[in-house]
Amino acid sequence: MELENIILEDLKIVKAHEGFIRCSYFVPVKLADKDGNWEVGSIASIIDNVGAVAIYSFSGYIKVSVDFTISFFSTAKVQEEVEIEAKVAGERGQLTSVVVEVRKKDSGQLIALGKQWMSSSNQVNRMMSKL
């Protein structure tokens, strides 16, 4: 939980409504790799969390990831401003899908694209018990 707090502490919500959230974020020094780029693990964590918030705003309850993929296209440097935008893409039964884009604020260049399916924890527990 402490790592998650570090990753999310500078995240600013710019716009939010049901099934949608846009955030602004300055990449902090403490999340840099050896080359001064934003560390990919923290990018994945922020995609997961912002996507979960978008789904929560849509469904009204906490869900857990059952499928999560990320494509990385570029990177951001320390202290560079990025935008993270999550949109609920669809719903099928207990499953909800969200797409999260991370872009450089100044150029709009795509850094990462996350796609995630989430399910209520009760549904996941039922699925796991069948295995």
pLDDT tens digit at each of 131 positions of the chain:
576 777 888 899 999 999 999 999 999 999 999 999 999 999 999 999 999 999 989 988 777 888 999 999 999 999 999 999 999 999 888 889 999 999 999 999 999 999 999 987 655 445 445 54
Please, how many CA atoms are within 13 Å of residue 131, restricted to the half-sphere of its CB?
A: 6
pTM, entire model: 0.87
- Amino acid 27: pLDDT: 95
- Amino acid 122: pLDDT: 59
CA-to-CA distance for 114 and 67, rounded, in angstroms? Answer: 11
CB 4 within 8 A of CB 45: yes
CB 37 within 8 A of CB 28: no
- Which of the following CATH numbers is that of domain 2-130: 2.60.40.10, 3.10.129.10, 3.30.465.10, 3.40.1280.30? 3.10.129.10
Closest CA relative to residue 87, chosen from 13, 17, 27, 26: 17
Q: What distance, in Å, lies between the first and last C-alpha atoms of the chain?
A: 29
- Amino acid 19: pLDDT: 94
- Amino acid 129: pLDDT: 52
Tokens representing 115 are: 């796609």
- Amino acid 130: pLDDT: 53
Tokens representing 32 are: 């840099």
CA-to-CA distance for 113 and 47, rounded, in angstroms? Answer: 8
- Amino acid 89: pLDDT: 95
